Amino acid sequence: MTATPRIVVLGAGYTGVAAAKLLAKRTDASVTVVNNRDRFVERMRNHQVATGHEPRHTTLRELFARTGVRLVVDQVTRVDPWQRQVDLARDAEPIGYDLLVYALGSHADLGGVPGATAHAYAVAVAEEAARLRDKMRTAGAVAVVGAGPTGLETATALAETYPDRTVRLVTGGALGETLSDRGRDHLHRAPGPPGHPGAGARQGRQGRRRRPAPRRRRPDRR
């Protein structure tokens, strides 16, 4: 009798959950997901946590109900590719696998910038976003570093929630370079949310204020 293949998925974010469900549905393998918490964290909504708007809590057990996926809530300490097993922090018995899906995601490297570890808040982590929420109760100004989708959403959400604070967006590249032409044009023409003149964008190491992009005048066809 052929042994049932064992698939282990490390991480239960968007990718880990989707991969585990798909593998359980389309294969005959046993699928095990290892995650350090039972709660499903929607990273793209962490900026809402920073402004005091808690997103709906969904447990992984709810998401994996009736899918055949086994959930192990524990911390991965080591992956042994030679023995094909994963060591856990609380469980003395390692989990063996035939196929390993590494979906632990990314994290902010605050140690790469002097002073960031002590003074910055990484909204990519729910706990850090909650710390930023608490800090914003007394902060007079905040600088959001990075103008990707997360940075833009965080800056605008903070400015809308705290209209009496100064919110600055700092980027080393072009402001809104990942947006469409229409979205980038709208971004450059809007210095901040209505009623919040203190919101602005700064670009480059010298912190030069970004000027609105000039609008093109259509030719007169008369």
What pLDDT score does 9 carry? 98
What pLDDT score does 61 carry? 95
What pLDDT score does 206 carry? 36
Residue with tokens 């902060």: 139
Asked whether the predicted pLDDT for residue 24 surpasses 80, the reply is: yes
| Cα gap 14→23, rounded to integer Å | 14
| Cα gap 116→125, rounded to integer Å | 15
Query: Pairing between strand 70-73 and 30-35?
Result: parallel
Strand partners, 9: 33, 101
Cα angle 24-101-108, degrees, rounded to a multiple of 5: 130
pLDDT digits (tens, 9 = 90+) for 82-141: 999 999 999 879 999 999 999 998 777 788 888 888 888 888 788 888 888 999 888 889
Tell me which amino acid residue 29 is: A
**Would you give the DSSP letter of residue 116?**
H
What pLDDT score does 49 carry? 86
User: Contact, 9 vs 33, CB < 8 A?
Assistant: yes
Tell me which amino acid residue 61 is: R
Q: How confident is the model at residue 148 (pLDDT cuts 50, 70, 90)?
A: confident
pLDDT digits (tens, 9 = 90+) for 199-210: 455 544 433 444
What pLDDT score does 147 carry? 83
Tell me which amino acid residue 48 is: Q
Asked whether the predicted pLDDT for residue 222 surpasses 60, the reply is: no
More confident residue, 179 or 170: 170
CA distances (Å), origin 188, targets 63, 86, 140: 40, 48, 25
Strand partners, 141: 166
Residue with tokens 């585990």: 20
Instruction: Provide the whole-model pTM.
Output: 0.71
pLDDT digits (tens, 9 = 90+) for 43-77: 878 888 888 887 778 899 999 999 999 999 999 99
| Cα gap 75→60, rounded to integer Å | 15
What pLDDT score does 2 carry? 62
pLDDT digits (tens, 9 = 90+) for 175-199: 778 788 887 787 777 655 443 434 4
User: Contact, 210 vs 188, CB < 8 A?
Assistant: yes
